[in-house]
Structure 1
Amino acid sequence: MNQAEAILMGLRIWGSIGAVVAAIFLTIGMDRIDEDAREAYIFRPLLIPGVLVIWPLVLWRWYLYEGGRDQWARRYDPPRRAHFAVGWLLPIGICLIILAGLSQRQTWPADLAPVQLSAPAEVSQ
């Protein structure tokens, strides 16, 4: 088994486990953790690709919800705390990237002569 086959086998295993988790979570688990999702089956197929990819996170969150250990009041604290810093870092970073790009001097090889391209020859049929 070469490296490509091993990667492909790993992706197949990951997707298979994700498919099983998606089937179980979207049929049984969704109703248990979200009251608003009860009897709402139309949107669930839209969640299948996401659950296939992040099934370990889905299982972990499902485990926390079922056990009652989810701290919903603190769920959004880390992103809110980071908004101020990110709000300043992103524009400053963009300006630095633009300045670095403009300050780089681009030189071409001196012995490279330009070549004029011509249209392709017509082929008679």
Structure 2
Amino acid sequence: MAAAALILSLAQAWLWVGAAVAAAFLTIGLGRIDNDASDAFLFRVLLIPGVLLIWPFVLWRWWRLERGEPFMPRYQPLMAHAPAAGIMAILIVGAFALSSAAQQEWPADIAPEKLSEARP
């Protein structure tokens, strides 16, 4: 029970810090780093749940953009990942095809029951 209370306390602390970051970022920071969002007040409300959860990333991005540094250099995935991505795509399609083809048989000794009468 103590572990559950600790996890709950950590989650609450995370969300409280996220609420403080959301309040600061959405009132001050967003208009400073994105000119298009300066008058978008309804848009800011939609960002609150996301900022509550990923507030360390939001702080880091805000800090980088305030300093004039690029947010993130262009990421080029490793070519070693290309075969793995192709294999995963084939496996996903195959799993979907197999799950669509599988049919369940109703047990022969159990008669189906009608739950309610159909309404006209």
Q: Above 0.5 in TM-score?
A: yes
Residue in 2 that maps onto 1:29 = 29
Q: Quote the sequence identity (%).
A: 45
Once residues 95 and 119 of structure 1 are traced to their aligned partners in structure 2, the CA distance between those partners, rounded to angstroms, is 38
Once residues 44 and 30 of structure 1 are traced to their aligned partners in structure 2, the CA distance between those partners, rounded to angstroms, is 8
Residue in 2 that maps onto 1:93 = 88
Question: Does 38-47 or 81-90 show the bigger shift?
Answer: 81-90
Give 4+ residue runs of structure 1 displaced > 6 Å after superposition: none
Q: State the AA in 1 paired with 2:60.
A: W
Once residues 67 and 43 of structure 1 are traced to their aligned partners in structure 2, the CA distance between those partners, rounded to angstroms, is 24
CA displacement, residues 29-50 of structure 1 (integer Å, 9 cap, x when unaligned): 1111111111221110000000
Q: TM (normalized to structure 2)?
A: 0.68
Distance 1:76 1:115, change over 3 A: farther
Unpaired runs of at least 5, structure 1: 103-113, 121-125
Shift of 1:65: 1.2
Shift of 1:88: 4.6
Across the aligned residues of Structure 1 and Structure 2, the Cα RMSD in angstroms comes to 2.8
Once residues 40 and 56 of structure 2 are traced to their aligned partners in structure 1, the CA distance between those partners, rounded to angstroms, is 24
CA contact (8 A) 2:64 2:70 kept: no
Once residues 9 and 42 of structure 1 are traced to their aligned partners in structure 2, the CA distance between those partners, rounded to angstroms, is 31
CA contact (8 A) 2:21 2:51 kept: yes
Secondary structure (helix, strand or coil) at the match of 1:77 reads: coil
Q: TM (normalized to structure 1)?
A: 0.66
Once residues 77 and 29 of structure 1 are traced to their aligned partners in structure 2, the CA distance between those partners, rounded to angstroms, is 24
Larger Rg: 1
Distance 1:84 1:46, change over 3 A: farther
